[in-house]
Amino acid sequence: MDVFVERTGTNSQRVPQGSPQPMHTPKVSDTVDSMKATVPAAMITAPGSGQGKSMVTAALARLHRNAGRNVRVFKHGPDYLDPMVLEVASGQPVYQLHPWMTGEEECRWRLTEAAQDADLILVEGSMGLFDGDPSSADLAKLMGIPALPVIDARGMAQTFGAVALGLATFDPELPVYQVIANRIGSPRHGDMLRESLPEGVSLLGAIPRNDAMNIPDRHLGLVQAGELDDLDQRLDAAAQVLAEAGLDGLPQEVTLTAEAPRPTPRLLEGIRIAIAKDAAFSFLYRGNLDLLSAMGAELTYFSPLTDSDLPEADALWLPGGYPELHGATLAANTPMLEAVRRHHASGKPMLAECGGLMACTETLVDKNGDSHAMLGLMPGRVEMAGKLQALGLQSLFAEQSELRGHTYHHSRLETGWVPTARTRKIAGTEAEPVFCHNGLVASYFHGYFPSAPELVAAIFRGEAITPIPSSKETHHA
């Protein structure tokens, strides 16, 4: 593999790299204005959800990592759970790429920056290849990364070729040259699938049905990586399945370019933020944590499930997660509940997102109908519903800036509080309520912090959020 890195700007240089495992080059310095890199890359996608692309992506990452390669994996769209597994598989941090939520500029920068010392870049798509706006296909086209669909071949023969043909020709700007057949029944089945493919589309590999290719899931997606004690063994076994299917080669090289990001303002200098992080509260984007640190904040972590007190902190963050699965344990940890109540009573800033909001109510009713006493910082209760209650991309518009993000929850909130603001869907209609009270900002909304550093800093400094009326908002495609 002949890979090179070319940097342009004040320190322009070309650094040759050897084959098959390239030398790692240093990260770009702050003085570099733009950067360019060539690296093997692929967008692992599918015709729809449930095809097995998440496990195929994780297994590919582990396969190449075990071969001594430096693998960087990214995830298209909002998602907390897949990245947890992908980080274990690759041994590297996993970031989101989404042209609307994270922005095209950040997508380019993260990919190109990763390519400086990566031997392989994999991007896991979301839903079906063309689903959503922006879709995985949109990201692949913008970044110039080829799409590699994973197709569940169970119960199919010639129809497999029809599905591949549709994916390959639906968008002339995104050609599909190879596909992966997943969950085949036999070698002969794989041959039939290969023979069904149209001209110009080849079968990269056929993965047999194998328990090693499965990871448990629940109502929000995959089971959290930290809950699977044998995840490493599962990933190694899955990697071996892919190796035996002939999927150990590198994809085609792509050339990535990006402008250096703008300097991050030090808006949280000297602020110490305590972040809940355990099996009940774990939905944390690395991009969010990186931004807080870049703005000068000191981050510390605690467990509402097992700790008895909060660390010393100026602000508190209860992120999303699965409090509904740990209601009894949370309710029984009286010392921690009292510590959080004291923090709120003092007027210190506190952000509660989705699962964090659920914990702030008086009562949480789980899927079994059992009630658990929560923090009681806001009146009312949340109850798990039998189906999805909200899903989609949204924005919070305030005088400071527009915070982009999303919502995804299965619970219903009943409260007497009047929302201070409401998020808005991309189409402009009102969505999730945002409650602000005595330093607390609580909502089902999950924000992507780098989209609005000023607003995020204001929240953690305890400053008032002044929503912008919908008539003054500027919506972006």
The residue ranges of the chain whose pLDDT is under 50 are 1-31, 471-477
> If you search the block for the tokens 């039939």, which residue do you land on?
192
Residues catalogued as catalytic? 354
pLDDT at 288: 98
Identity at 334, one-letter amino acid code: T
pLDDT at 427: 86
Q: Between β-strands 71-76 and 95-97, what pairing exists: parallel, antiparallel or unpaired? A: parallel
Give the span between the Cα atoms of 398 and 434, in whole angstroms: 11
Residue ranges of the chain assigned to CATH 3.40.50.300: 4-259
Q: Which residues, in sequence order, are CB contacts of 178 under 8 Å at separation 6+?
A: 148, 201, 202, 203, 204
Residue ranges of the chain assigned to CATH 3.40.50.880: 272-472
**pLDDT 10s digits, 279-327:** 999 999 999 999 999 999 999 999 999 999 999 999 999 999 999 999 9
Identity at 351, one-letter amino acid code: L
pLDDT at 129: 98
Give the span between the Cα atoms of 166 and 149, in whole angstroms: 11
CATH number at 4-259: 3.40.50.300
If residue 80 lies in a helix (H) or strand (E), which one and from where to where? none
**CATH of region 272-472, choose from 3.40.50.1970, 3.40.50.880, 3.40.630.30, 3.40.50.2300:** 3.40.50.880
Give the span between the Cα atoms of 401 and 58, in whole angstroms: 36
Query: How wide is the angle at C-alpha 255 spanned by C-alphas 249 and 257, nearest 5°?
Result: 140
pLDDT at 281: 98
- CB 475, CB 425: distance < 8 Å: no
Q: Between β-strands 272-276 and 298-302, what pairing exists: parallel, antiparallel or unpaired? A: parallel
Query: How wide is the angle at C-alpha 450 spanned by C-alphas 398 and 397, nearest 5°?
Result: 15
Give the span between the Cα atoms of 93 and 272, in whole angstroms: 23
- CB 394, CB 424: distance < 8 Å: yes
pLDDT at 6: 32
Q: Give me the helices (H) in 197-271, please.
A: 231-244
Identity at 16, one-letter amino acid code: P
Three-class secondary structure of residue 307 per DSSP:
coil
**Partner residues linked to 447 by β-bridges:** 405
Give the span between the Cα atoms of 338 and 33, in whole angstroms: 50
**pLDDT 10s digits, 381-404:** 999 998 999 999 999 999 889 999
Chain-centroid distance, C-alpha 281: 15
Taking CA atoms, 105 is separated from 97, 98, 180, 400, in Å, by 10, 10, 30, 21
pTM here is 0.88
At how many degrees (to 10) do helices 53-66 and 231-244 cross?
A: 90
